[in-house]
Amino acid sequence: MRKSIVIRVLAVLLGFALLATACGDDDSTGESTSETPTTSEADTGGSDTGGSDQGSTGSEDQVEATQGGSLLDTVIERGTLNCGVSGSAVAFSETQPDGSVTGLDADFCRYVAAAVLGDASAVNFVALTAAERFTAVQTGEVDVLMRNTTWTQSRDTDVGMDFGPTTYYDGQQLMARASDGFSASSDIPDLEGATVCTNAGTTTEKNIAEAAAAAGVNITLNTFEDYDIVMDNFLNGSCDVVTTDGSGLVGRKAKQQPEGEEWVIFPATPISKEPLGPTYRQNDSKWADVINWSVYSSIIFDEKGVTSANADDQKANPVDAEVGRLLGGEGELQTAMGLPADAFYQAVKQVGNYDEIYTRNLGPVGLVRAGSANARWTEGGLIYAPPAR
Ligand SMILES: N[C@@H](CCC(=O)N[C@@H](CS)C(=O)NCC(=O)O)C(=O)O
């Protein structure tokens, strides 16, 4: 047993070493400081943040701590869920002055904690920059990452990560000042000569570099480790344009657009697909099932009209057999997963269903669900869960 742990640790470290070698000395890795931008001329191929986008070396101790059984057992034993978030992503995970964390991602952390531990407050939020986040998953610093994270092929296949169901279908857009001649119908060709800024270690920087190169447009791409610094540089005029997931731009505009100034978001059709959702360590099927079915149960509760307010009534008198099973009536579906029979009852009762989580957090910044990709599948959207049976 001990020998196999050591072999696995060595294998993981070897994998990290190979990755680090493959990534070389890329000057736009997560090593860049927050204050100093990393600049690249996007028309020369742009920056490739392979290293920071995919994580990096973890310490042996940290890696070893996560080997062996499922994270489900570790979390139950610990009694708290270590959940990786941004802490500064408006409406998704924002650290408040009192230290609490609000947002859609933060609420999905709470939903999982309620399901696994019966207590939505049993979450230790770990604030991570985009460049730090995958290392935190790989080393076991966090049990799950809920941080505006896009599911991509390389992230899913390269090193140490698996992805859960998409909780928000997003796409990359840009934002600029109307007074600089930009409008909602602006597009990539209008960026000629512009300084475009974003955060490092993201799909965002790769997408904009590719889009500019494909359109034959010259931009200066500046990346910063922290999105707050990106916005500071936009506000002081060092950046003409900022870019990230559309939801992030809507949130930042709602919070930071100065009086008398007009910021515009474009193009209407995003330049990329950014399916955002939970990320966790690779090859831990038991833990993956718990995260995945937590999200799915929130979606089914939304579809069937089970809310935090009526969860008790629904538990006593469920609208249908599927709801009865999910609320613990025939709890063996949950107990077979290693969860309490009433796991998802606790989650919906304490945190609410998908729609409650969405509306509470994204409604205030103007992200309307109806008519978007995030509408229920029964209403033309993509929010869909497999059957609970
Ligand atoms: N979805 C993209 C971008 C993620 C990202 O970093 N988004 C920004 C804008 S919403 C963010 O979270 N900023 C907050 C921060 O950096 O703390 C990815 O997975 O690479």
Is residue 274 in contact with ligand 1, taking CB distance under 6 Å? yes
Inter-CA distances, 382 with 168, 356, 371, 376, 385, Å: 9, 17, 11, 6, 9
**Separation CA 302–CA 307 (nearest Å):** 7
- Short-list 290, 322, 292, CA closest to 304: 322
- Which atom of ligand 1 is closest in space to residue 244's alpha carbon? 9
Alpha-carbon distance of 204 to 173, in angstroms, equals: 9
Q: How confident is the model at residue 193 (pLDDT cuts 50, 70, 90)?
A: very high
Candidate of 199, 243, 249, 250 to mutate for ligand 1, largest count of ligand atoms within 8 Å of Cβ: 199
Q: Is the CB of 107 under 6 A from ligand 1?
A: no
| CB 227 less than 6 A from any atom of ligand 1 | yes
Instruction: Find the Cα–Cα–Cα–Cα dihedral 123, 124, 130, 132, rounded to 10°.
Output: -140
Q: Is the CB of 130 under 6 A from ligand 1?
A: yes
| Per-residue pLDDT tens over the stretch 100-122 | 999 999 999 999 999 999 999 99
pLDDT tens profile 49-73: 333 455 443 333 344 344 569 999 9
Q: Is 197 in the pocket of ligand 1 (CB under 6 A)?
A: no
Residue-wise pLDDT for 204-232, tens only, equals 999 999 999 999 999 999 999 999 999 99
Domain at 2-33+47-169: CATH code: 3.40.190
pTM for the full predicted model: 0.87
Ordered DSSP codes for 124-159: EEEE--TTTHHHHHHHTS-SEE-SS-B--HHHHHSS
Phi, psi of 33 (to 5 degrees): -80, 160
| Ligand 1 atom at minimal distance to the Cα of residue 230 | 16
Query: What is the whole-number distance in angstroms between the Cα of residue 89 and the centre of ligand 1?
Result: 7
